[in-house]
Amino acid sequence: MTSTHRLLGLLCLCLLFPAGAQAIQYDRVDTARSSIRFIPVLMGTKTEGRFKNFTAQIRFDPDKPAQAQAKAEVDLQSFDIGFDEATDEALGPNWFDIKRTPKATFVSTHVKALGADRFELTGNLTIRNQTKPVHFPVTLTREANGMARLDGALVIKRLDYGLGQGQWAGTGTVANDVTVQLKLFLNSQ
């Protein structure tokens, strides 16, 4: 075989098995399709609010979770609980206090593989200038064309962040546990 033939053979092999199919790295979040939902429980009744605007940076190779990085910044002003008076209260000083702290942030510190495209995400969540470590499971669902969906739910203690001041400080009507549900659509370059 000539060297030209060898080169041709290698080229064919590369076309058949593109490198990207084996090691994929997700590095963009399609925020327009993604959602972050905030689900409080009021005396057993569940309702939910959404944060319409947020930005997220991610670098995530499912095969190398130890090197994964994720960071998100949520525009609290974009919160909507579907009921204007309740939304106003949520944005006010008793809850998100958007005048003083307009953003909530999450910065990952560690990602651990749990097997079968499930991972444990550990990081620091900051709301109202209160930073607390959190960890929660996420599930990756791979889609066509180098895209994927990442689903996860995190239960926070709202009082850890000072969410619910004054008349809301008790947990008799609004439970301390609030579920934050993530659905992120990831793209690779």
- Which residues of this protein are in contact with another protein, per CB under 8 A? 42-48, 81-83, 85-86, 88-89, 167-168, 170, 172-174
Residue 97 C-beta: closest distance to another protein, Å: 16
Residue 177 C-beta: closest distance to another protein, Å: 14
Residue 83 C-beta: closest distance to another protein, Å: 6
Return the beta strands (E) in 60-172 as ranges: 69-75, 79-80, 103-115, 118-127, 130-142, 147-157
- In this complex, which beta carbon is closest to another protein, that of residue 21 or of residue 43? 43
Residue 89 in tokens: 């209260």
- In this complex, which beta carbon is closest to another protein, that of residue 13 or of residue 85? 85
Phi, psi of 171 (to 5 degrees): -110, 15
- In this complex, which beta carbon is closest to another protein, that of residue 70 or of residue 174? 174
**CA distance between the termini of the chain:** 37
Residue 100 in tokens: 């003083």
